[in-house]
Structure 1
């Protein structure tokens, strides 16, 4: 049961990060360059977390990178939070 609970926890984390990403992409279509750059950065962070978690879940890629998925996910979540703060401070429309 433990591996299944762990897999489901990782999926919930990715689902939450996906929801945050979608909220941050909404202002990217306002036409302001700053919002587009922040949205593109959010996509890049999300893709890095997704790739690391996929490698961990499937065992694909070098084994030495498997232990980096948790710190990368934490940094990715923190990075998306900081990008959200930048959107709010920049006056999201």
Structure 2
């Protein structure tokens, strides 16, 4: 007995997952910029890295997040987003340690 896969739901879940990823990275970036603006010394470096990482992820993944096509990264977008997620996790830990 062969089951037929419903292709209608999986692409929608994938688009929503990419959008949640971009939203999460946007929030961490904004909090890091806030830390740089209010924290004084040492906040500009992490904020600059967060902005660069956010821009790279948006550039790489926008087509997938909006459902307008496949990103042109040769299948590397998931690995690149994973690397960015690790960097943002470290920035998130910095935000927690700094008390934001």
Q: TM range, normalised to the smaller chain?
A: 0.7 to 0.9
**TM-score in terms of structure 2 length:** 0.72
Q: Is the 8 A contact 1:28 1:35 kept in 2?
A: yes
**TM-score in terms of structure 1 length:** 0.76
Indicate the residue corresponding to 1:18 in structure 2: 26
Task: For structure 2, list consecutive stretches of 5 or more residues without a partner in the other structure.
Answer: 1-8
Higher CA-based Rg: 2
Which structure dedicates a bigger proportion of its chain to helix?
Answer: 1
Q: Tell me the C-alpha RMSD between the 2 structures.
A: 2.5
Provide the aligned length of Structure 1 versus Structure 2: 90
Task: For structure 1, list consecutive stretches of 5 or more residues without a partner in the other structure.
Answer: none
CA distance in 2, matches of 1:48, 1:15: 14
Could you give the per-residue CA deviations for residues 17-41 of structure 1, whole angstroms, max 9, x where no partner exists?
Answer: 1111111111111363420111111
